Amino acid sequence: MPQSPALTALLFGLRGCLVDFGARSDSFEHSPQATPGALPALARLRRQAVPCGWIDEIPLAVAEHLSRPLPDWLKPHSSMHDTPWPAPDACWHALMALKVNQLDGCVLVSGEPRLLQSGLNAGLWTIGLAACGSLCGLSSSQWQALSPQEQAHKRGKATLQLYALGVHSVIDHLEALDDCLADIGQRRLKGEKP
């Protein structure tokens, strides 16, 4: 089987994607936590030399506080001064900051519908997160406290909303990112475009 084309760059939402949605408060009293699978996924992407960055539309001071559990090499982008989401500007500016010279192979991962729409508008592959982010509105510990039936209900509802938005793939958490990226690679190999 032919090898999938290399990824050009990955952008991640900050809140509800890389950092636990429970850290969404603008208060500095809460200690932010990386979401399940975030740090291992970032480490694998770093070993593969894939440029990565996060994007959010919150003040830089809050973003710096929330991003503390993330590696220093991960490029930040606060889109506070860009055209508001779902305009594509924030995604393009974040990719320019990563010195990306093509959109082909660029992927956005987020649980925030407005950011995902921005990625779609920018021409990126998009991966929606169903079990974290604003559609579920729960921290990782709150999610774990739900019964399997409650999780399935929330996951199903969020998945339907994400696919209705037009995202290319949906996963629960970043723990499933590798398989999802491999699937996108196979789709690109077959000539599919975002």
Beta bridge partners of 164: none
pLDDT for the residue numbered 27: 46
Query: What pLDDT score does 22 carry?
Result: 58
What is the predicted pLDDT for the residue at 14?
94
Query: Can you give the pLDDT at residue 46?
Result: 97
**What's the rounded mean pLDDT across residues 168-173?**
94
CATH code of the domain occupying 9-189? 3.40.50.1000
Q: Where are the domains of the chain?
A: 9-189
pLDDT digits (tens, 9 = 90+) for 1-49: 567 788 999 999 999 899 986 544 444 556 888 998 999 999 999 999 9
Nearby residues of 54 by Cβ (< 8 Å), 6 or more positions away = 11, 12, 13, 14, 17, 18, 67, 70, 74, 75, 76, 77
Task: Supply the pTM of this predicted model.
Answer: 0.93
